Structure 1
Amino acid sequence: MGHVLAPGVTAPDFTLHVTPDQTLSLGDLRGRPVVLAFYPADWSPVCGDQMAVYNQVLPEFRRHEAEVVGISVDSAWCHQAFAETHHLHFPLLADFEPKGAVARQYGAYRDGEGVCERALFVVDREGLIFWSYLSPIAVNPGADGILDALDRLETQETNDVRTQSAGVGG
């Protein structure tokens, strides 16, 4: 397993296809937490289960105002069919051409196999990586780590606001 980008690092910006004619940039989501879920391939059993879990806990992610984005090297067409089949309600981005370019920036690409690692990132409202996790490729990492990170991020943001408020005029 490789080394994914660590917390505290600025998340590399990117623009990838959501559909064959629509793109999404990380910068478009600035101002809210973003969950980046890199995964190997749409139709593998573990990936299907992993994305289904995120779909089920989407209300919890939204409670934290977090956007969830899945990323793999599959094409936008493949993502579209996969998302429709699994009734996914969050975007899947195609890191298709140049293959794995964004995954490589995040340290989440498996050169020998030509697929993304199963890697998770929580990016804060300012675009810094708050939490990252590299799962064994055959293991569904679930959502507990992400939800814990979002809870900690929310607590930190609340404390930062309180500290700033206390410092005003003090």
Structure 2
Amino acid sequence: MSLLGQNAPDFALPSTEGREIRLSDFKGQQHVVLVFYPLDFSPVCSMQLPEYSGRQEDFAALDTTVLGVNRDSVYTHKAWAAEYGIEIPLLADLNLKVAREYGVAIDERAISKRAVFLIDKDGVVRFEGVEPSTGDYSVRPEQVLEQIRTL
């Protein structure tokens, strides 16, 4: 199921910012990059999210916010972010509802796939990169930045 060219499903999730974050809050304001990842503290995720976080200024220069999403709690997110220096908001999709809406839930394992969605200021999905396996990490920040530059 591809969401490319469609309106991104809206959501409201608790975040490490101490507030609920809604996708619709960014509409008309900023592009949004949603980074779905399986688990906090796992090896590949502990490489991916710090890499996206480290490029935050590059994304901000292009009017873009990056949000990490998975099924772990806000408390786990905060501990992981502190340990790995992750400064982007991490959202808690505890029941995988949002992952299901984006077609990236792996219900039998109670995690999400590793996937990146670029949503433009109009709320339309302009890029989606879903990894074949949760251990794969091929959609790097630079590739997503290139996609944003084409908008």
TM-score tier, shorter chain, comes to over 0.9
Distance change in 2, residues 1:20/1:137 (3 Å)? same
Calculate the TM-score normalised by the size of structure 1: 0.83
Identify which of 117, 122, 143 aligns with 1:121. 117
Report the residue type matching 1:138 in the other structure.
Answer: G
**For each residue in 1:69-114, what CA deviation from the matched residue of structure 2 results, as whole angstroms up to 9, or x when unmatched?**
0000001110111111112121000001xx1000000001112211
Considering fraction of residues, name the structure with more helix: 1
Mean Cα displacement is larger for which, 130-139 or 41-50?
130-139
- Which one-letter code corresponds to 1:18 in the other structure? S
Match among 43, 59, 69 for residue 67 of structure 2: 69
Alignment match of 1:25 (pick from 19, 22, 26): 22
Q: 2:5 aligns with which of 5, 8, 27?
A: 8
Tell me what 2:108 maps to.
Answer: 112
Q: Is the 8 A contact 1:49 1:140 kept in 2?
A: no
Identify which range, 131-140 or 34-43, moves more after superposition: 131-140
Question: Are the equivalent residues in 2 in contact too, given 1:20–1:77 (CA < 8 A)?
Answer: no
The gaps in structure 1 that reach 5 residues or longer are 154-170
Asked if the contact 2:17–2:89 (Cα under 8 Å) also holds between the matched residues in 1, the reply is no
1:52 maps to which of 39, 50, 53 = 50
Aligned-pair CA distance for 1:145: 2.3
Letter aligned with residue 73 of structure 1: R
CA RMSD in angstroms, aligned pairs only: 1.4
Quick one: distance in 1 between partners of 2:17 and 2:3?
Answer: 31
Any gaps of 5 or more consecutive residues in structure 2? none
Which SS does the other structure have where 2:57 is aligned? helix
Following superposition, the deviation at residue 144 of structure 1 comes to 2.7
Q: Identify the range of structure 1 (108-117 vs 142-151) with the bigger mean alpha-carbon deviation.
A: 142-151
SS in 2 for 1:52: helix
Q: Which amino acid aligns with 2:117?
A: F
Distance 1:53 1:139 in 2: 15
Maintained 8 Å contact 1:122/1:129:
yes
